[in-house]
Amino acid sequence: MPQEKNLPINEPTLLGVGQPVTVDDPTGSIGLSDEPEDMQRRLWVLYPLASLSISAVSGGVNGALLAKLIAGFSGANEASQAAVLGLALSISGITYLLAAPIGGLLSDRTRTRFLGRRNLWVLIGAVAGAIALIALGSSPSIPALVVLAAVATIPVGVVLAATSAVIPERVPIRSRGRISSINSLMALVGAGLGIAVTSLAPTVFIGFVELAIQLVVFCALFAFFTRDEPAPVKEVVYENGAVVKAKHMFPTPKSHPDYWWTFAARGLAFMAYGLATGLQLYSLRDYFGAGSTHDASLVLAQIIPFSTIALAVAAILGGLAVDRFGRLKPFVIASSLLFIPAALVLALVPSIPGAFIGFILTGLAFGSYISVDGVLMTRVIPSKTHAGRDLGILNVSGSVGSIIAPALAGGLVAATGYGLVFFLVIAAGALASGCVVFIRSVR
């Protein structure tokens, strides 16, 4: 009888009872070593436009429409209007903090051929957001307004989380600085345009409709005319001969320290900016000697264009520098440290010229930071498989810093005056740069 030849075995080899054999990468790091080599040209236009539309909603609603809507209810005096607005913004802020990572998780877990997992949620979130905005504009009462304002932040958070994953998944490392800086600038422009357009709307309801239309149009253009990346291969392991899903652990400070150093640095940098600018009008009136509230408003109107230009120039130069030199950490550290000279001028030169110089330097610091920080976030996420969730959490860190800063500044001013606030800006900037020093996986 002829001897049988060794035939290939299709079943997985078991190393021991209950011992798993990895087939696909259970950590989700498949994409980290396989960075995109090129990107669609239309992304340079459609991605920033989507960011502009999201920021226009936030700026228009929070900066103009909510206050007008509240003022339109009969029987609400000025004091109660301010209280309702503060309550609505606070609850909406909390809802947004929850919506961003949850929205990212939804797109991470979506598997569909229609549009793709990110683009699909951009479209769904935009349509749902438009419906929520129109409902908010039709609020029949103040309690309904507070609830609908919170609900409206959920789909906007979903859109933002889905678009945040675009850079690490579709943009080569060599181009991330430039697209991050363009994206940051368009977000700032969008917030300003949202306030301007809705302030000029003939009625409050039409203002909400305008925001809803532009959100759907720009997000639909992005969803239908950009190519989404397919989801990574399913993560599976063999255990006792059976195929089971591998569970991706949530990043912890021990397992992914660079991720959490970035989280801390981002929160501190945004806090530094919020501390410096959160009470700008009042500081001009009470600390820099502008005079009355009206006079301080006139001075602020002169400062804002210069600080905005400084922010824009710094954002562009920061993004270009990162792409040109291929280094990231030195620029993130330097941009964080720029808050120190800005705050020193604000603290030590309590005059109108000092305010001009200090706030322009603050714009330079924040502009350079947001462009390079956007790249850093894409480099420290533990997994592309969970990019939506992980970037959503990092975005929360900046929001938390921005929310804490005004409240902290207000308390310090009431207790000690403005000087300590500006020295706290120095501490926050220094600590932010120190956190970046500890990041090891990025040059």
Which among 205, 225, 245 is the end of a domain?
225
**Which pLDDT value is given to residue 243?**
45
Q: Are residues 207 and 294 in the same domain?
A: no
Percent of the chain at pLDDT exceeding 70 = 86
- Number of domains the chain contains: 2
Helix/strand/coil for 141 = coil
Cα 443 from Cα 226, distance rounded (Å): 31
The two three-digit tokens of residue 434, written as one number: 């120190």
On whether residue 2 sits in a domain, the answer given is: no
**Which pLDDT value is given to residue 245?**
47
On whether residue 245 sits in a domain, the answer given is: no
Mean pLDDT, residues 241-251: 53
On whether residue 69 sits in a domain, the answer given is: yes
Helix/strand/coil for 238 = strand
Q: Are residues 105 and 182 in the same domain?
A: yes
Digit-coded pLDDT (tens) for 330-361: 999 999 999 999 999 999 999 999 999 999 99
Q: Are residues 359 and 303 in contact, defined by beta-carbon separation less than 8 angstroms?
A: yes
Least confident of 9-18, 365-374, 395-404: 9-18
Digit-coded pLDDT (tens) for 252-277: 888 889 999 999 999 999 999 988 98
Question: Which residue range is the domain that position 299 belongs to?
Answer: 257-437
Q: Are residues 206 and 274 in the same domain?
A: no
**Which pLDDT value is given to residue 130?**
97
Q: Residues of 136-145 as b/e, b for ≥16 C-beta within 10 angstroms? A: bbebeebeeb
Digit-coded pLDDT (tens) for 100-134: 888 888 888 888 888 888 999 999 999 999 999 99
On whether residue 12 sits in a domain, the answer given is: no
Digit-coded pLDDT (tens) for 276-328: 987 788 888 889 988 888 888 888 888 888 988 998 899 999 989 998 888 89
**Which pLDDT value is given to residue 78?**
61
Q: Are residues 220 and 292 in the same domain?
A: no
Q: Are residues 184 and 266 in the same domain?
A: no
Query: Which span out of 170-184, 221-235, 401-415 was modeled with the highest average pLDDT?
Result: 170-184
Q: Are residues 274 and 338 in the same domain?
A: yes
Calculate the alpha carbon distances from 5 to 2, 8, 11 in Å.
Answer: 9, 10, 18
The two three-digit tokens of residue 302, written as one number: 């002169």
In the block, which residue shows the tokens 């309690």? Answer: 143
On whether residue 273 sits in a domain, the answer given is: yes
Q: Are residues 398 and 270 in contact, defined by beta-carbon separation less than 8 angstroms?
A: yes
- What is residue 18's DSSP assignment? T
Q: How many CB atoms lie within 10 A of CB 345?
A: 20
Digit-coded pLDDT (tens) for 22-80: 333 333 333 344 677 788 899 999 999 999 999 999 888 887 888 888 888 866 566 67
The angle subtended at Cα 411 by Cα 85 and Cα 275, nearest 5°, is 80
CATH number at residue 393: 1.20.1250.20
- What is residue 61's DSSP assignment? I
Mean pLDDT, residues 210-226: 96
On whether residue 416 sits in a domain, the answer given is: yes
Which among 225, 248, 266 is the end of a domain?
225
Cα 346 from Cα 196, distance rounded (Å): 29
Cα 367 from Cα 362, distance rounded (Å): 8
On whether residue 283 sits in a domain, the answer given is: yes
